[in-house]
Amino acid sequence: MNELGMSPRRATIVTGASEGIGAELARVFAWKGHEVVLVARRREKLEALASEICSKGGKAHVVELDLCGEGAIDVLEKALEQAGLTPEILVNNAGFGLIGPTAKLDQAEQLAMVDLNVGALTALTLRFLKPIIATRGAVLNVASIAAFMPGPNFAIYYATKAYVRSFSEALAEEMAPLGVKVSCLCPGPVVTGFQARAGFDFSGAMSAMKASLVSAEEVARQGYEGLVAGKRVVIPGAMNKFTVAFARLAPRAVLMPILAFAQNGR
């Protein structure tokens, strides 16, 4: 109960909701009747998305926030309380990658990647797990097909996503008896702002790959449906499923040079 003696309304928190997969996930949950809380650093994009959702009969709230900032989760929790909301579903989508040799990339940026992709995701889950359990809700963590293999020239990003998948699968097993669903969404490359931040170049030979990518909208749809169905790992796209199967079966001595060549080509 809040100060007025009213029970808080259930909400779905979506981090990294300003664009790409995060924005599409927010749309999917909103169209399915969930009251969504949009979390990211870019207020203008969040407000535009919230206006779109509300104009179509949905309910959306904006929380402009740097998840790696001091006291960020306290700020988010307070915003939820002030709006009369309690977390039912947590969608951990916020994250970024950096492509290039580990020794040459900026050290501070690489550590910031770990802080966001691993630290913030874990901290959010730990903070909101009790109310999620109380509402028999769910957690959807966004990883990548990178979670299934090492990534030369993308080493730390791949490692962070391996953590997300491992954490998600273990948490799913723990939460199952409590009626809480936990899914890990593992898309392949998607054309979003992520690629610009990571340093991808889709010109030349990579343009053919761009044409075959699964859209952010489709990734979000499959992520939502997989969560509802109780799937612990969701891999959108036949080519991505094949890539993961190959990575699981191929000897590391064969796989590593292939991956290194592929990353160099980007």
57 secondary structure, DSSP code: T
Q: DSSP secondary-structure letter at 8?
A: P
**Residue 186 to residue 129: CA distance in whole angstroms:** 22
Vertex 190 angle, CA 121 and 52, to 5°: 75
Q: CA 48, 54, 59, 60: dihedral to nearest 10 degrees?
A: 10
Query: Would you give the distance in Å from CA 27 to the centre of its chain?
Result: 14
Three-state DSSP at 88 gives strand
Question: In the beta sheet, which residues pair with residue 87?
Answer: 11
Q: Please answer whether residues 9 and 86 qualify as being in contact, where contact means their C-beta atoms are separated by less than 8 angstroms.
A: yes
What is the spatial distance between Cα 18 and Cα 245, in angstroms, rounded to a whole number?
32
Which strands make up the sheet holding 233-234, listed edge to edge? 59-64, 35-40, 9-15, 85-92, 138-142, 181-185, 233-234
Q: Would you name the residues annotated as active-site residues?
A: 157, 161
